[in-house]
């Protein structure tokens, strides 16, 4: 059964977070953390007599995305009304696109465990975001639904793939690449809550397609797909049919639940939006936007490998998050040891970000402060081990590394005289170990460990070992014993 082929397609709704206003009116698009229903006007609410007015910058932003996804651009695009009754859009239709979308037939190359694969893009179209439905507890048991229209009318770019992904890991890799592309274009900030929301469809062995709606994190896309593959395989194994339906991912319980029978396209009664004229997209406009495209993740990865001698893997980890790659490049330009700087960013900094569940932009320091810390290591002022601890404190407090080192008495003890004082103290307190070490070299390491602990790990371990060994040799000589 496990050999049954899985086909996964994605529909990704990406908010154009670079715009200050909504798509068809002048309401603010800054809705996060706002009281409900304050960013609304007659147009986005669809009150009688109001007319939509297309935000030209939204088209430009969507065009950037379509070009970055290697799509063919339609010279004429048309907005449609997608009719449905649902409380998240007070007009009872969504302005979207149907025939004549902005762009079609693109592709993105992903990489899963070192293997490259091309995922075809079926279409890229523009539409408005619906409002936000707020439930009490779970969607299927909530006694009521609250509606917040602040989000309604925000510009969305919908990216629809062909069903080219064959595993949850490939779907995740695609989403990460898409997010990185959007961030490099500075069209959509994927780290904002709800800025990228996915519908996934999945079928097994050429069977019925099931859609899972509105998954808001990449981790959940992977989990929902894994669950759905298991659910569908179990149904097939028991000889039951997989129903064509729309399901909801319940992230708390980690399962998908049936929402409704899947609606057909014809159910939406698409028709051209009579309040908006078709948009002509000229070659000049396309070329102007194309020539303004910044460096995209794939090109950046190649450059990082070339310029800093990084591995493919390192370049991939960095560019998965534009802010992280930017941080690295700034650090490398100041500190000037790219291999070390890369290791600090992806092994130390990224681990702390994940542990504290924060983004690069939440850091209360800049690459300059990390460079200062690394200069302290280079100058032997603090050990590498202390530096890791100081970096953690920097993430927690935002203080300058020098200040943290001073305040917490962190320095590197490498003076023999100073270490000898600690050795004397430890030899006094661990007479048993000293006796054992005189007889057995292996015990010396235990004593070194004690001395390091006594110095709060600030002493240079090599010098400490030399001092302890020398003391033991002297004791052996005093007793006329040869060194082992």
Contact segment (CB under 5 A) with Zn ion among 25-33, 57-65, 228-236, 289-297 equals 25-33
The distance from CA 322 to its chain's CA centroid, rounded to whole angstroms, is: 9
In the set 25, 71, 395, 438, which binds Zn ion (CB under 5 A)? 25
Q: Which is nearer to Mn ion, 132 or 476 (CB)?
A: 132
Q: How far is CA 308 from CA 8, 23, 184, 193, 400, in A?
A: 36, 41, 20, 33, 27
Residue 44 engages Zn ion in binding (rule: CB under 5 A): yes
How many alpha carbons fall within 13 Å on the CB side of residue 67? 21
Instruction: Give min distance, CB of 146 to Mn ion, in A.
Output: 22
**Quick one: tokens of 375?**
């200069």
Residue 182 engages Zn ion in binding (rule: CB under 5 A): no
Contact partner at residue 158 from Zn ion, Mn ion, none, CB < 5 to 8 Å by partner kind: Mn ion
Residue 171 engages Zn ion in binding (rule: CB under 5 A): no
| CB contact set of 378 (below 8 Å; sequence gap of 6+) | none
Residue 8 engages Zn ion in binding (rule: CB under 5 A): no
Instruction: Give min distance, CB of 53 to Zn ion, in A.
Output: 10
Residue count, binding to Zn ion (CB under 5 A)? 5
Contact segment (CB under 5 A) with Zn ion among 44-52, 54-62, 407-415, 454-462 equals 44-52
Scan residues 358-387 and list those touching Zn ion (CB under 5 A). Answer: none
In the set 6, 8, 27, 102, which binds Zn ion (CB under 5 A)? 27
Q: Which residues of this protein are in contact with Mn ion, per CB under 5 A?
A: 158
Rounded CA gap, 215 and 294, in Å? 29
Tell me the three state secondary structure of residue 428.
helix
Nearest-5° Cα angle at 411, 410 to 417 = 130
Q: In what order do the strands lie in the sheet with 93-97?
A: 93-97, 79-83, 271-272
Q: Which is nearer to Zn ion, 43 or 203 (CB)?
A: 43
Place of tokens 């707020």: 134
Q: Which is nearer to Mn ion, 158 or 228 (CB)?
A: 158
Tell me the three state secondary structure of residue 443.
helix
Buried b (16+ CB within 10 A) or exposed e, 258-277: ebeebeeeeebebebbeebe
Q: Is 81 left (phi over 0), alpha (psi -120 to 50) or beta?
A: beta
The distance from CA 43 to its chain's CA centroid, rounded to whole angstroms, is: 34
In the set 38, 41, 257, 358, which binds Zn ion (CB under 5 A)? 41
Rounded CA gap, 85 and 161, in Å? 26
Instruction: Give min distance, CB of 23 to Mn ion, in A.
Output: 13
Contact partner at residue 44 from Zn ion, Mn ion, none, CB < 5 to 8 Å by partner kind: Zn ion
Q: Which is nearer to Zn ion, 41 or 146 (CB)?
A: 41
Q: Which is nearer to Zn ion, 6 or 152 (CB)?
A: 152
Contact partner at residue 298 from Zn ion, Mn ion, none, CB < 5 to 8 Å by partner kind: none
Instruction: Give min distance, CB of 146 to Zn ion, in A.
Output: 20
Contact segment (CB under 5 A) with Zn ion among 20-28, 46-54, 90-98, 318-326 equals 20-28
Contact segment (CB under 5 A) with Zn ion among 27-35, 96-104, 174-182, 184-192 equals 27-35
Positions in the binding site for Zn ion (CB under 5 A): 25, 27, 41, 43-44
């Amino acid at each position: 059964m496990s050999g049954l082929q899985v086909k996964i397609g994605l529909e990704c709704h990406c908010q154009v977070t670079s715009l200050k206003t909504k798509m068809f009116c002048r309401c603010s698009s800054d809705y996060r953390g706002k009281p409900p229903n304050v960013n609304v006007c007659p147009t986005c609410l669809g009150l009688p007599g109001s007319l939509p007015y297309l935000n030209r910058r939204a088209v430009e932003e969507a065009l950037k995305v379509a070009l970055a996804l290697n799509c063919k651009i339609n010279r004429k695009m048309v907005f449609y009304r997608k009719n449905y009754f649902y409380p998240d859009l007070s007009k009872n239709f969504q302005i979207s696109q149907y025939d004549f979308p902005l762009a079609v037939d693109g592709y993105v190359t992903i990489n899963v465990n070192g293997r490259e694969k091309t995922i075809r893009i079926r279409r890229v179209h523009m539409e408005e975001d619906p409002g936000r439905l707020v439930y009490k507890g779970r969607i299927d048991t909530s006694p009521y639904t609250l509606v917040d229209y602040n989000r309604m009318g925000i510009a969305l770019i919908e990216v629809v793939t062909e069903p080219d992904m064959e595993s949850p890991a490939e779907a995740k890799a695609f989403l990460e690449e898409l997010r990185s592309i959007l961030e490099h274009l500075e069209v959509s900030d994927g780290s904002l809550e709800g800025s990228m929301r996915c519908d996934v469809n999945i079928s097994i062995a050429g069977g019925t397609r099931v859609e899972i709606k509105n998954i808001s994190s990449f981790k959940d896309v992977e989990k929902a797909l894994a669950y759905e593959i298991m659910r569908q395989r179990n149904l097939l194994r028991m000889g039951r049919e997989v129903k064509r339906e729309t399901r909801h991912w319940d992230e708390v319980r980690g399962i998908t639940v049936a929402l409704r029978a899947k609606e057909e396209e014809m159910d939406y009664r698409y028709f051209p939006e009579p309040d908006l004229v078709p948009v002509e997209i000229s070659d000049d406009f396309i070329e102007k936007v194309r020539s303004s495209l910044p460096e995209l993740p794939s090109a950046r990865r190649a450059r990082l490998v070339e310029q800093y001698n990084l591995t493919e893997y390192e370049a991939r980890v960095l560019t998965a998050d534009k802010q992280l790659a930017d941080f690295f490049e700034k650090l490398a330009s100041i500190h000037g040891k790219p291999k070390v700087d890369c290791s600090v960013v992806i092994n130390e900094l990224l681990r702390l970000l994940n542990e504290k569940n924060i983004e690069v932009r939440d850091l209360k320091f800049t690459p300059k402060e990390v460079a200062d810390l690394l200069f302290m290591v280079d100058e032997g002022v603090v050990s590498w081990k202390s530096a890791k601890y100081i970096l953690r404190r920097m993430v927690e407090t935002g203080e300058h590394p020098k200040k943290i080192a001073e305040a917490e008495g962190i320095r590197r003890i490498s003076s023999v005289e100073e270490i000898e004082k600690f050795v004397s103290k430890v030899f006094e307190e661990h007479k048993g170990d000293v006796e054992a070490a005189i007889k057995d070299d292996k015990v010396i390491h235990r004593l070194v460990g004690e001395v390091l602990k006594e110095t709060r790990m600030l002493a240079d371990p090599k010098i400490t070992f030399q001092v302890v060994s020398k003391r033991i040799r002297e004791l052996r000589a005093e007793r006329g014993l040869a060194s082992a």
